[in-house]
Amino acid sequence: MVKYKWIAEEIRKQIRAGFYPSESRLPDQETLAKQYNTSRMTIKKALDLLSSAGIIYTIQGSGSYVKRDAVELANRTIHIGQNVGLTTATGADHQLSAKVLQFSVRFPSETEAELLRLERHEPVYEIERLRILDDKPHSLEYTLFPVALVPNLTEEVLHKSIYRYIREELKLEFGESRQTVRASMPSRDDKEHLLCADDDPVLEVEKINYLENGTPLEYSRVHHRHDMVEMHFVNRRGPMAGVE
């Protein structure tokens, strides 16, 4: 663990423990630098981390301050890439499950090949799953993975976590993902599997996940019942803000 990340962790722990209360000012960077026996630049990098995690904010000429919901945030660990979070009414007393409707291998269509940056002769897995909460279906999920990137995918794995398999077994690093969200009318499949009425809208999410180097890893299209799923986003000010 590098120094500035370690220092960020330490400060976060202290915030979590209430040593630096909500809305209070942190010691100035010079003081922190001495305290952690390091240089000011390193402290700055640590504070930047906490700042972009939404735990503190800084005002030039004034100081760095603990945000009012920081304690809650510091605990929540905001698993990143999940600042886009999908919430159903998940809780302790709810039962989440999934049913694999289809698992097969085929060649991609022209559009799919383009999106996943494949040749037409490179096969993909095609997976269709129904997400169920307390016996009520809420999402219909359609997913493609290039076979070359995720070899030996089995139905076994599908029932656990595909992502854990990809990260821990295949040791691939995730990069960015792009999503498009729209409202649409229910398709025939939606009516069949999600039990939508003719005028029940669905929330459609189209997503491409990329690896760290930009290689497309996954294409998915998910239809959610509008009365069971909504999406939450937290947007922090980007580092490029104000550049243009």
Partner DNA sequence: TAGTGGTCTAGACCACCCT
Partner DNA sequence: GGGTGGTCTAGACCACTAA
Helical packing angle, 3-16 and 40-52, nearest 10°: 60
Binding mask 7-46 toward a copy of itself (x if CB under 8 A, else -) reads -xx-------------------------------------
Q: Which residues of 212-231 are buried (b: 16+ CB within 10 A; e: fewer)?
A: eeeebbbbbebbbbbebbee
Q: Stretches 36-44, 131-139, 192-200, 203-211: which one binds DNA (CB under 7 A)?
A: 36-44
Regarding 61 and contact with DNA (CB under 7 A), the answer is yes
If residue 42 lies in a helix (H) or strand (E), which one and from where to where? helix 40-52
Provide the strand spans (E) within 51-135.
Answer: 56-59, 63-66, 84-87, 96-106, 124-133
**Whose Cβ is closer to DNA: residue 125's or residue 165's?**
165
Q: How far is the CB of 177 from a copy of itself (least distance, A)?
A: 5
Distance in angstroms (rounded) separating the CA atoms of residues 19 and 35: 15
β partners of residue 224: 139, 203
Site for DNA in 144-183 (CB under 7 A): none
Regarding 119 and contact with a copy of itself (CB under 8 A), the answer is no
The answer to whether 71 and 15 are in contact (CB under 8 A) is yes
Q: Stretches 32-40, 63-71, 107-115, 141-149: which one binds a copy of itself (CB under 8 A)?
A: 63-71
C-alpha closest to that of 22 among 75, 71, 73, 76: 71
**C-alpha 54, offset from chain centre:** 16
User: Judged by CB under 8 A, how many residues of this single chain contact a copy of itself?
Assistant: 60
In three-state secondary structure terms, 48 is helix
Regarding 40 and contact with DNA (CB under 7 A), the answer is yes
Out of 203, 217, 219, 222, which residue is the one contacting a copy of itself (CB under 8 A)? 203
**Whose Cβ is closer to DNA: residue 32's or residue 133's?**
32
Question: Two tokens at 158?
Answer: 């599908």
**Whose Cβ is closer to a copy of itself: residue 129's or residue 224's?**
224
Q: Stretches 37-45, 155-163, 199-207, 222-230: which one binds DNA (CB under 7 A)?
A: 37-45
Q: Stretches 23-31, 68-76, 134-142, 181-189: which one binds DNA (CB under 7 A)?
A: 23-31
Binding mask 84-103 toward a copy of itself (x if CB under 8 A, else -) reads x-------------------
